[in-house]
Amino acid sequence: MAESDKKFLFEKDRVSHALMVMALPAIASQLITLIYNLADTWFVGRTNNPYMVAACSLVLPVFMFTIVVSNVFGVGGGTLIARLIGAGEDEEASGVSEICMWMAIIAGMFFSILCFFVMTPLLTLLGASDRIIEYARQYMFFVVVLGGVPVVFNNTASSMLRSIGLSSKASFGLSMGAH
* Average pLDDT per 10 consecutive residues for the chain, totaling 179 residues: 55 68 70 78 88 92 91 88 85 91 96 97 95 96 94 87 68 56
In terms of Cα–Cα distance, which of 117, 120, 118, 148 is closest to 132? 120
**Residue count (the chain):** 179
Q: How far apart are CA 42 and CA 39, in angstroms?
A: 5
* 8 Å CB contact between 101 and 73: yes
* 8 Å CB contact between 136 and 55: yes
In terms of Cα–Cα distance, which of 179, 124, 121, 119 is closest to 155? 179
Q: How far apart are CA 104 and CA 91, in angstroms?
A: 20
DSSP state of 135: H
Domain spans in the chain, listed from the N-terminal domain onward: 3-176
pLDDT of the residue at 150: 92
* 8 Å CB contact between 144 and 112: yes
Mean pLDDT over each residue of the chain, to the nearest integer: 83
Whole-prediction pTM: 0.77
pLDDT of the residue at 166: 66
* 8 Å CB contact between 162 and 22: yes
